[in-house]
Structure 1
Amino acid sequence: ACSPTLLSSMTSDVPSLRTLLVGGEACPHNLVVRWSKPGRQILNTYGPTEATVTATMGVLTPDSPVTIGAPLPTYSIVILDASLPQLAEPGELGEIGIAGIGLAVGYLNRPDLTEQKFIADFLGLPNNPSRRIYRTGDLGRINDQGEIEYAGRIDTQVKIRGYRIELGEIEAVLLDQPEIAQAAVTTWEIEPGRVELVAYYAPKAGVPAISRADLAQTMKRRLPDYMVPSYLEELPAIPMTVSNKVDLRQLPKPTSVRLSADRAMVAPGNDDE
């Protein structure tokens, strides 16, 4: 069992490995392709500490989109409206809610946070003795196959120049590059009032490095203009926390030259513009 980031940094296969359990963060599809082989099963798990860690599980295959599977027998998963205590429409994106025997009592000495995150079970879900639902802060939807598609953290959505951006989508494009082992995207206030996207990446050992110019072209081809990072920063390795997740606080201030936007400037046509 390991996090996808840790798995992506391993350069050689382990032929004797029969079952691979990933969890703790989103798993890129290219990692599934790389580690899949006959006789090996890759399981994707999901669940926060507040639900005793693992609440859902699914099998990952190279020819299927990555999902976090379905709830384990003692859990229920619901997709909640982002602002109201009600279900999101079927198939719509919303906040993942967890109910079941494994829910925590709450946060120690934080009754305010407990009340905010653990809401009353207004649906009467089974196997839910505490009659509460934990709001995870994660975005997701339930697809037509009944599996949960994880869409990132609500709080990793950023708004830049009026556009709402999911940082995980940019990271996924970086991790799709065969030369890149690890990636992280965040924002920096380059100067007061000017916030920019910054992408950090660590090259994969044993393969020719991708040039910054080629990577910039790929980002511009794969992403809309407003999602292309202004800075591409190569690091020897992405700093990690003790739980093998990206440590955003340890990422250095960008030092590379800003990517040219190549955006056509359109002059305002009236007073409102």
Structure 2
Amino acid sequence: VTSYAFDISVPSLFLPLISGTSVNILAGEARFESMKHELQEQPYLLRMTPHHGKALIAFMGEAVCQLTHTFVIGGEAFPLELYDQLQAKFPNSVIYNHYGPTEATVGAIALNVTAQRDQIGATMPIGRPLPNTKVYILNKELGLVPKGAMGELYIAGPSVSKGYLNREELTQKSFVVNPFEDENSQYNLMYKTGDLVRYIGEDYLEYCGRVDEQIKIRGFRIEVGDIESQLLQLPEVDSAVVQAKELAGQLQLVAYVKFDLMHEIKFASSESQLQDNERKLAAIKRSLAGQLPEYMLPSQYQVMTDWPLSANGKLDKKALPVPSLTELSSVAVQPVSETEVRLVQIWSEVLQTSEEHISVVESFFSLGGNSLSLMLLLNKLRSEFGAALQLRELYQSSDIQSMAKRIEHLLWMEQDDDDEYEGELLVL
């Protein structure tokens, strides 16, 4: 199922040949149609990415295969939900999670998920090192981190390559001498993977994201994998990716989400589909707001019907569309009162976005606001309305409707105090 340009294709192509069997190379949808029938005929060893696994499940339809196949899933994160779906379609099969960068010659770590499913918690581990492979979880100074702590994964062993052809600088950066082995050891060279991992449970390794996916927004260090993990736990979400994008002149978190097919409803009109998407996104935002701090909440969301894939069958994050505020904004609920109209104008100035994209029921933070821009908004509101607003009140009333009511209430209270004072003077 994998492209020949992907390193996982090496055992897929050559293991059958050296075992005396044949290799059939199929293109496009034909490969899944063929597999659907072949898998009902005899047991197979199947190596594929999670995205290909999802496609296979879709092509299987209502069919269930009782034969004993062996699935090796790798190339990117393997969600537990996908494992359960595969196991339901192939109840007698054995399914492995397989991890290994090209630099470590295809495979370095694996887990028999079928055998260990009862011991696995909420997230899928990548497993334990394969024979003749050593792994180290290190900090930036190449020191071992405490057990259970997160660090960068280094791989050593005879399967580790010597470096990149004609790229000496990159080789020196990515392949380092192993400080825990002598120079004559077969483990004396380590590959710096750039992957963050930690030990969990029975000494299983858990993938925690990429070193280069740690971002800093407003002084807060954020691991986007933590946000993605929360999204994937929601019933509405099939898959999700979070990225930091430069929007409206500032770095913002954008969540790309694909809805769970089990929650999809076919609508007669695109308007009904849009309303359903808005309902689901509203539920997602509410759920995340209860699980994550404000600075980790995505300010923009983009609904995906399909993910862009590379030639290797992996998610191509670089091909994700750059979101525009026009596309991401809901159908704006227009202001009614004079206070709401002026608030829309002030929000537009602070958020550096068009007034037509601002809905009076949308949160300041979901439109791209943050704690710093909220301070700017507070100063503008105090200057514009003369109301004694407090910062905590803006957090509590984060949409224009609520904010307008709060401002009008404060102004009424201040006016009421003035009237009472004038009355006392008349009595005197």
* TM-score interval, normalised by the smaller of the two chains: 0.7 to 0.9
Give the Cα separation in 1 of the matches to 2:130 and 2:239.
Answer: 30
2:255 matched residue in structure 1? 199
C-alpha displacement of 1:239: 1.0
**2:65 maps to 1:15:** yes
Amino acid at match of 2:258: A
- Tell me how far 1:136 sits from its aligned partner: 0.6
Q: Which residue of 1 aligns with 2:52?
A: 6
Residue type matched to 1:49 in 2?
Answer: T
Alignment match, 1:190: 247
Question: Residues of 2 paired with 1:171 and 1:200: CA distance?
Answer: 9
Q: What is the rounded CA distance, in whole Å, between the counterparts of 1:6 and 1:201 in structure 2? A: 18
Find the residue that maps to 2:288 and give its secondary structure.
helix
Task: Measure the CA separation in 1 of the matches of 2:304 and 2:190.
Answer: 40
Partner of 1:85: 142
8 A Cα contact 2:53 2:86, kept in partner: no
> Separation in 2 of the partners of 1:225 and 1:36?
37
- Please point out which of 132, 142, 163 is paired with 1:74: 132
Could you say which residue in structure 1 is the equivalent of 2:171? 114
From 228, 232, 242, give the equivalent of 1:171: 228
- In structure 1, the partner of 2:96 is 43
What's the CA shift string for 1:138-165, capped at 9, x where partnerless?
1111235121111111011111112222
Match of 2:194 among 137, 155, 177: 137
Give the equivalent residue in structure 2 for 1:249.
Answer: 318
**Are 1:215 and 2:284 an aligned pair?**
yes
SS at match of 2:290: helix
Letter in 2 for 1:86: G
Task: Give 1:107 deviation, angstroms.
Answer: 0.8
Whole-Å separation in 2 of the counterparts to 1:48 and 1:121: 18
Determine which structure has the larger helix proportion and give its number.
Answer: 2
Q: Find the counterpart in structure 1 of residue 206 from structure 2.
A: 149
Q: Indicate conservation of the 8 Å contact 1:30/1:176, yes or no.
A: no
Q: CA deviation at 1:51?
A: 0.2
| Percent of paired sites with the same residue | 34
Q: For the Cα contact (< 8 Å) 1:95–1:137, is it kept in 2?
A: yes
List structure 1 runs of 4+ shifted beyond 6 angstroms: 266-269
Higher relative contact order (CA 8 A, sep 6+): 1
Contact 1:2 1:23 in 2 (8 A): yes
Distance, in Å, in 1 between the alignment partners of 2:183 and 2:260 is 46
Match of 1:58 among 90, 97, 111: 111
Q: Tell me by how many angstroms 1:128 deviates.
A: 4.9
Structure 1 portions without partners, runs of 5+: none
Which moved further from structure 2: 245-254 or 127-136? 127-136
Q: Which moved more, 1:223-232 or 1:17-26?
A: 17-26
What SS class does the counterpart of residue 6 from structure 1 fall into? helix
Q: How far off its partner does 1:127 sit?
A: 10
The answer on whether the counterparts of 1:79 and 1:140 sit within 8 Å (CA) in structure 2 is: yes
Q: 5+ unaligned residues in a row in structure 2: which ranges?
A: 1-46, 266-276, 331-361, 380-389, 391-428
Tell me the distance in 1 between the aligned counterparts of 2:309 and 2:246: 22
Paired letter, 2:251: V
How many pairs does the alignment contain? 267
**CA 1:126 to 1:140, structure 2 compared with 1: closer, same or farther past 3 Å?**
farther
What is the CA–CA distance in structure 2 between the aligned matches of 1:106 and 1:244, rounded to whole Å? 24
Name whichever structure is richer in strand by fraction.
1
Contact 1:30 1:175 in 2 (8 A): no
With structure 1 as the length reference, what TM-score do the two structures score? 0.86
**Contact 2:181/2:187 (8 A) holds in 1:** no
Check the 8 A contact 2:160/2:191 in 1, yes or no: yes
Contact 1:78 1:96 in 2 (8 A): yes
TM-score scaled by length of structure 2 = 0.57
SS of residue matched to 1:30: helix
C-alpha separation in 2, matches of 1:140 and 1:46: 12
